[in-house]
Structures are given as C-alpha cells and as structure tokens.
C-alpha cells in the first residue's frame, strides 16, 4: 500500500513538472515579433541621427527629419494593420506604401540642401544595389520594387 502511494505521488509530481514546463513554453509562432521592438519615436530619432551623421544635418534639419520619419513610420504601421490579413502583393497595399514613401522623399527634399540631397541619393542607390544583390541570392522584400520609380526604395533610411 505504501509503495502504491509513493508511486502515485511520484507520477503526480512528474506530471506537475511537465505541465509547468509546457505552460512556460511559448508555442512556436505565438510570440509576437514586436515585443522588444523600439517605439516609433525611438525609430524616428535613430533615423534622424543616422542621417545627421551621414549628411551633416543641422539640429533644425534633424528635428524636421525626425518629424517626417515619425509620420512615415506611423502611417506604415497603419497600412500594415489595415492589410494584415491580405497578401503582401496586394495592389492597394503596395499603392499606399509607395504613396507614403513618396511623401517622405518629398518631405526630405524640402528639408535637405541640394548637396545633402545628392549625397542622400547616392546612399539610397548604394542601398538599393546592395538590396538587389541580396535578392539575386534568393532574398525578397515585402513590396515589389517599381523599376521606373527611383524613390521607391525608402523603407529604411
């Protein structure tokens, strides 16, 4: 009888440990990707700081770039949410993303000097070339590029 009680207790203890272990594990794919993602404000500040280093922005320009970046990031998040249950190649989604990108480019052209615009254009071309090299190796982006639009690749600065 004592052996039976010990055996049942041992099994109960083992099962309890398994239940706790399984409860602490997050099922694959259920953990949100953005749990540790920076806020839009942090992302915009980082982008503005990077452009300040790359282009020699003044403090006023940096502030204006940060505001434009924040607008773009927030609008892109709204588009992502709006189209979360659609295919990545949804034409309406692509159209809205391109529109937000173009508005961001236009905002930057108003902020940057002609020399800074030229430097930024070169940086973007280098980034696009690097991105296209990655695609040649089998990597793909979420929005197809529009070959005739040189401003289409402004996802991240």
Alpha carbon 113 to its chain centroid, in Å, reads 28
What span, in angstroms and rounded, lies between the C-alpha atoms of 11 and 33? 37
Residue given tokens 């990655």 in the structure block: 134
Q: What is the pLDDT of residue 54?
A: 94
What span, in angstroms and rounded, lies between the C-alpha atoms of 69 and 103? 11
Q: What is the pLDDT of residue 8?
A: 67
Whether the model pTM is above 0.75: no
- Tell me, what DSSP letter sits at residue 26? P
Return averaged pLDDT per consecutive 10 residues of the chain, 157 residues in all. 67 62 48 71 96 95 96 95 92 95 96 95 91 68 47 41
Beta strands in 1-153 (DSSP E): none
* Angle CA 108–126–93, to nearest 5: 60
What span, in angstroms and rounded, lies between the C-alpha atoms of 60 and 105? 18
């Amino acid at each position: 009888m004592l052996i039976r009680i010990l055996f049942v207790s041992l099994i109960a203890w083992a099962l309890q440990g398994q239940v706790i272990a399984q409860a602490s594990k997050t099922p694959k794919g259920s953990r949100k990707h953005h749990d540790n993602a920076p806020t839009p404000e942090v992302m915009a500040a980082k982008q503005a700081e990077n452009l300040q280093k790359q282009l020699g922005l003044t403090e006023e320009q940096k502030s204006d770039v940060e505001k434009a970046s924040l607008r773009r990031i927030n609008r892109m998040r709204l588009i992502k949410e709006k189209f979360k249950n659609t295919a990545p190649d949804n034409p309406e989604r692509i159209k809205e993303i391109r529109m937000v990108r173009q508005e961001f480019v236009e905002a930057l052209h108003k902020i940057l000097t002609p020399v800074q615009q030229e430097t930024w254009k070169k940086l973007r071309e280098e980034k696009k070339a690097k991105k296209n090299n990655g695609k040649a190796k089998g990597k793909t982006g979420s929005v197809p590029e529009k070959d005739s639009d040189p401003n289409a690749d402004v996802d991240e600065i």
